[in-house]
Amino acid sequence: MDSEKLNDRWSAVKAQILGYPDVNAAEISAFFSRLEPQAMSDSFLMLTAGNEFIKTWVEDHYLASIQRALFDMTGTPFAVAIAVDPTQEQRQTAQAGAATAAPSPAAAAPVMAQAAGAAVPLAAPATPATPVTAGAGGGLNPVSAVAAGAEPCQVVEVAAPSTVAPVAAPQPFSGAPATPPSPASVAPAGAIETSEASRAAASPAAGSPMDPAAEQPASTLTFSNFVIGESNQMAYSMANEVAGNPGRPIFNPLFIYGKSGLGKTHLMLAIKNYIDKTQPHLRTVYADSADFVSKYMEASVAHDREKASFKNFKHYYEEADVLLIDDIQYLQNKKQCLDMVFQLFNSLTAQGKQVVLSADRAPKNIDVDDRYSSRFSSGGIVEVRPPDIETKLAIVKRFAEECSRNEGFSQCAIPDDIQMYIAENSSSNIRELLSAVTNVLYRMVFSGQSDMTIEGARVLLENHFSGGMSRNLSAEDIQREVENFFKVSHADLLSAKRSRSIAYPRQIAIYLCRQLLDVPYEDIGRKFNRDHSTAIYAVGAIEEKLKKERDVQEEVETLQKILSEL
């Protein structure tokens, strides 16, 4: 099978999977783009991934879906093997026109089957139903796709999967991961930021000896338990690239920005955890800006008593191979600390060491000297946007399942309509969403309300949400607050005027009616002297602006907060 035909077959498999219910399209886009088909026969498919994380994640979450798609398309059970090709990321980078980078230390080194001391390239199983298992002495047995009738697109030396189990007829798809993550390791995106960051940032006191092995405790926030959606897919992909290939000029520094509670700290600690696990020879240091300022002040005060204190403080960060500084906007108006960060930044990046920064706003909007913001913008910049309803619902489901496992609440499952209610009414801050899930679960358990209704959930959470539906809210309330906020008259809001100063507030008001009131488009249109198609257009226009324009996000969230307090 030639390369073009093989890629076409793989594209068809991906399209088939996207048609299944409960499949996260953003996850498919983020992970399957990092897989390459290598060989395919009538009952066997060989794929390669650029690093061990991508391989393991796809095996855990989508191997069953790939097998199901192949069965649905061909009527034949397939064995699917995924192996690691360390050169794959380099080829993709070269094809994208990026600078050539060294092979990722994070990717597993090619594992060669040994035959009389010679390395044997990996291909596919001699018989698709035959497992590929570890050979005697822990070595991996060579396997040949050619013998099975598969036609490899190219021969690559890759790490063999430890096991490719024989495949029986595919089972009904449940949407659940093939292998659930361990309870101790799962925390949805954005679930914990400041508190987790504070613990992870714990470091030796200024001036004290610093033991790298005991510098910072591990965090449970990893790539595998980050919930991917359209709003954070790009940030996730760039963070994963940095974790696998730290120091590449194109992403050095990496600057991640977005409002509080959207998962920035989760991504930063996921980078640290991944590098700590896969490249332990690299020293990673995570610092929350507030903690950095505190340590800087301690070192400055101690300098009069202990001359080495300030030197030790600086040395701690200078010796990092990967430095992650969270909430950099906190350094506004703190010139000495900012100068210190800038010195560290320049020193580390000049040596090809990785720097990752985060803030609640873009570099250009941080109140610092232009020379700082321009340098912070010199690498990759990516925004974590507020999650859409689908992403919030996925986070609700993930967190509810994890709480049930960890706390022994398996007998309590939050009904689907309550999960959707939480997703629709929570603000963009994920902590608020997770708190609502916790409240509902504990009420169900400790009050014996295992069959809680949607009305019971509304009563329980009536004062919980900062940006959700208000029980007594009306279209007139929304119109009034929008008019006050944008300084337009009621007559103009309902008029036929189409200037931006009138049309934009009108679209915002229609959007908020659709989000906060349980009424159809026809009713909303009548409230604004318009038909339902105009209301649909207005909602769509604001949804598009929310994806791209931070000012619109802030205006909508401010109005939601105002309306929630009525």
Residue 351 lies in a domain: yes
Q: Torsions phi, psi of 163, nearest 5?
A: -150, 135
Residue 281 pLDDT exceeds 50 = yes
- Same domain, yes or no: 367 and 401: no
Q: What is the mean pLDDT of residues 186-190?
A: 42
- Same domain, yes or no: 126 and 268: no
Which domain CATH number covers 520? 1.10.1750.10
Question: Helical H runs in 378-499?
Answer: 389-407, 416-425, 430-446, 454-460, 475-486, 490-493
pLDDT value of position 435: 87
Tens digits of per-residue pLDDT, 323-352?
999 999 888 888 888 888 898 999 999 999
* Residue where a domain stops, chosen among 383, 399, 434: 383
Q: What is the mean pLDDT of residues 352-372?
A: 86
Tens digits of per-residue pLDDT, 63-87?
888 999 998 898 888 888 888 886 7
- Same domain, yes or no: 129 and 20: yes
Peptide bond into 253 cis (omega under 30): yes
DSSP lists the bridge partners of residue 80 as 45
Q: How many CA atoms lie within 13 A of 408 on its CB side?
A: 1
Q: What pLDDT band is residue 452 in, cutting at 50, 70 and 90?
A: confident
* Residue where a domain stops, chosen among 432, 460, 488: 460
Residue 515 lies in a domain: yes
Nearest Cα neighbor of 122 from 95, 88, 154 is: 154
Q: What is the mean pLDDT of residues 284-293?
A: 91
pLDDT value of position 411: 64
Query: Which of 306 and 352 is assigned the larger pLDDT?
Result: 352
Tens digits of per-residue pLDDT, 125-144?
333 333 333 333 333 333 33
- Same domain, yes or no: 102 and 217: no
| 93-111 burial code (b ≥16 CB/10 A, e <16) | beeeeeeebebbbbbbebb
Give me the amino acid identity at 375.
R
Tens digits of per-residue pLDDT, 422-447?
887 877 778 888 888 888 888 887 77
- Same domain, yes or no: 218 and 346: yes
Q: Tell whether residue 261 is among the known ligand binding residues.
A: yes
- Same domain, yes or no: 32 and 100: yes
Residue 164 lies in a domain: no
* Residue where a domain stops, chosen among 337, 357, 383: 383
- Same domain, yes or no: 360 and 394: no
Tens digits of per-residue pLDDT, 224-238?
888 888 888 889 989
Burial class (CB in 10 A: 0-12, 13-18, 19+), 80: buried
Peptide bond into 21 cis (omega under 30): no
Q: How many helices (H) and strands (E) does the chain have?
A: 21, 10
- Same domain, yes or no: 276 and 303: yes
Q: Tell whether residue 264 is among the known ligand binding residues.
A: yes
Residue 341 lies in a domain: yes
Which domain CATH number covers 59? 3.30.300.180
Nearest Cα neighbor of 545 from 499, 493, 510 is: 510
Residue 470 lies in a domain: no
Identify the weakest region by mean pLDDT among 89-98, 167-176, 228-237: 167-176
Residue 469 lies in a domain: no
Which domain CATH number covers 375? 3.40.50.300
Cα 46–chain centre separation: 27
- Same domain, yes or no: 502 and 393: no
Residue 181 lies in a domain: no
Beta carbons of 354 and 247 less than 8 angstroms apart: yes
Residue 156 lies in a domain: no
- Same domain, yes or no: 412 and 374: no
DSSP element (H, E) containing 114:
strand 113-115
pLDDT value of position 94: 55
- Same domain, yes or no: 91 and 218: no
Question: Rounded to two decimals, what is the model's pTM?
Answer: 0.54
Domain that holds residue 281: 189-383
Radius of gyration, CA atoms only, the chain: 27
What length does the chain have? 566
Measured in Å, how far apart are the chain's first and last C-alpha atoms?
65
Q: What pLDDT band is residue 395 in, cutting at 50, 70 and 90?
A: confident
Residue 275 pLDDT exceeds 60 = yes
Q: What pLDDT band is residue 122 in, cutting at 50, 70 and 90?
A: very low
Residue 146 pLDDT exceeds 60 = no
- Same domain, yes or no: 294 and 351: yes
- Report the number of distinct structural domains present in the chain: 4
Residue 117 pLDDT exceeds 70 = no
Tens digits of per-residue pLDDT, 461-513?
877 776 544 446 789 999 999 999 999 999 999 999 989 999 999 999 999 99
